[in-house]
Amino acid sequence: MKNLETMERESRFTTLNTMKENRATLIETFTATRESTPAETVKALVERIGYPAALVTVAEMVNTVSEHDGRIFPSVREWAAGTGEAATREELHKYGLYQPDALHSCHINQMGEAMRDYQPTEEEPAAEMVEVSTLADSLDLGDNADRLNDYRDSDSYICDAISEIADSDTSIYYTDILNFISENPEALADVVAEGLYTVDSSTEYDLYKHGQAAEYMMIERDIYNHLRDAVLLCAVDFIRYDLKRETIPADLADLLQEWADNADNNDRMNDIPDKIREYFKDDEGEDE
């Protein structure tokens, strides 16, 4: 069980990652709408991350600007300081978050004014976000299915990736093979029943090859039995480690599970990563 200190540290880490993601989204949105009005920039930001997150993110951006910078109006500073969930200048600096070079103080001031005056409507509900890590926490990966993650953005067919894993993880040393047989004696009969190893009088019997065939079959079967969760783990870790995102919209989380449910043995490993890229590309295109 995690102790309180560990839980608090993980909570701060999650919060910091979310702050960084939202800051990056704000900068992306500003860049995409810089020919528009500040109000339109703020509206686009709300559509991407929801009103509560947009409110806090813009307020924190105001708080990054030096208190000696007169280009931030006192009324905007007062508004930002009164936004309860927003980190203070001192807290932001503690996290290593400063005013980004991409945003001039005047632009930050204009966005602050626009965000302060923005009125959310019922037609613009806050976007529900999901922690990516929570999707992985509930996965059942058996003994071997997590190995599919090594292929998460390759163009290998799923069946080929599974075969490679089973082949590379099958024991090659006699001692290991005998240990496997002693722990899984029923697997010897199963592999023969499956037609994956033949025992007859026409060939000299080889216990070691029989054991290897049985272990290969068990590894392969274990991954196939947990294929849905293995594919979902690949999608989740692609987002976390390749795209560097810790939170995603709830609708994308639903899509990931749908795609994983429908993943086929003959799909390519990068089919879902390509769909994820397309999702974010479409999202950015709508914002423009």
Please write the tens of the pLDDT for every residue from 123-176: 555 567 888 888 888 899 999 999 999 999 999 999 999 999 999 999 999 999
pLDDT tens, position by position, 86-100: 899 999 998 889 999
Listed in order, strand segments (DSSP E) in 115-168 are: 129-131
pLDDT tens, position by position, 181-196: 999 999 999 999 999 9
| Degrees, nearest 5: CA angle 217-169-235 | 90
Residue 11 has pLDDT above 90, yes or no: no
pLDDT tens, position by position, 108-133: 999 999 999 998 875 555 567 888 88
pLDDT for residue 125: 55
Give first-to-last CA distance, the chain, whole Å. Answer: 46
Task: Determine contact, residues 142/222, Cβ cutoff 8 Å.
Answer: yes
SS3 249: strand
Q: What is the mean pLDDT of residues 231-254?
A: 92
Q: Where are the domains of the chain?
A: 4-127, 128-288
Report pTM. Answer: 0.58
- Rounded CA-CA distance 153/155 in Å is 7
pLDDT for residue 127: 61
The closest of 96, 83, 84 to 16, measured between CA atoms, is 96
